[in-house]
Amino acid sequence: MSRRFGKMGEANGTYRKLRLMDPAGMARVVARMAREVVEAAGGVEGFALVGIRTRGVPLARRLALEVEKAEGVKIPVGLLDITLYRDDLTTVASSPVLKRTDISFPVETKTIVLCDDVLYTGRTVRAAIDAILDFGRPRRILLAVLVDRGRRELPIEAQLVGKKISTSATEVVSVTFRETDGEDDVWLLDRHPETLARRAAPKPARKAPAKKTPGKKAAKGAAGKAAPKGRGRGKR
């Protein structure tokens, strides 16, 4: 799951380092992933897509649309909120905001393809698996992500990946969708403290030349010149 850092990110302590996908690139990647989903699921029968809120939902819906265009079959799409299943729930929010979960089909007989925008630590996916299992025992669970950025904390891997990159601890992958953010884009952001400090440091202001103050000698000379000359005494 990715974090939102704004379009440029500058105000949020990050800056855009590298564009990973533009709108056309995202469309190509999603179309390819849709073909791979059908193959991994063993055909169009008996599988469903479940988007992890928030940005896994538009990915799941786009994959379903691409499959329908290619195969002529509508694939069930579910929406999954994993808030109450997070292992860091008590530390991220005192009053968590719950979103709607909508899975209107039986999961026991299906291959469930979980969809998310970014795979990072694996904790979001672990929570999603726990949430799905509360609906029943699927035949199989697969994972489809738009970007896999590595640096896992749990032994979880995606079977379907749009783009795989290696990232540092200071980098962030930002994914935006038209449906949720108004635009399609994928950027690699950086928030390295040294880099940020260098970019944010204000340029030193140019000092105005100091006005010269007259010294004692100059002041005396000026006073002497300004004083009127007295009349000299005449010769007797």
Query: Per residue in 42-79, pLDDT tens?
Result: 999 999 999 999 999 999 999 999 999 999 999 999 99
- Beta-carbon contacts of 102 under 8 Å, excluding residues fewer than 6 positions away, are 78, 79
pLDDT in the model for residue 166: 96
Average pLDDT of the chain, as a whole number: 85
Answer whether 122's CB lies under 8 Å from 155's CB. yes
The secondary structure of 30-64 as a DSSP string is HHHHHHHHHHHHTSSTTEEEEEETTTHHHHHHHHH
Is the pLDDT at 232 greater than 50? The verdict is no
Q: What is the CA radius of gyration of the chain?
A: 33
Arithmetic mean of pLDDT, 93-97 = 68
Residues 6+ apart with CB under 8 A from 141: 111, 112, 113, 114, 129, 132
State the average pLDDT over residues 19-27: 98
Per-residue confidence (pLDDT) for residue 190, from 0 to 100: 93
Residue 8 and residue 16: Cα distance in Å, rounded? 6
According to the model, what pLDDT value does residue 8 have?
Answer: 42
Q: Are 153 and 122 in contact (CB under 8 A)?
A: yes
pLDDT of residue 37: 98
* Calpha distance 154→121 (Å, rounded): 6
Question: Which band of pLDDT confidence, cut at 50, 70 and 90, is reported for residue 212?
Answer: low
Which domains does the chain possess? 21-167 (3.40.50.2020)
- Per residue in 120-166, pLDDT (tens digit) is 999 999 999 999 999 999 999 999 999 999 999 999 999 999 999 99
pLDDT > 60? residue 223: no
Asked if pLDDT for residue 35 goes beyond 80, the answer is yes
> What is residue 185's predicted lDDT score, i.e. its pLDDT?
98
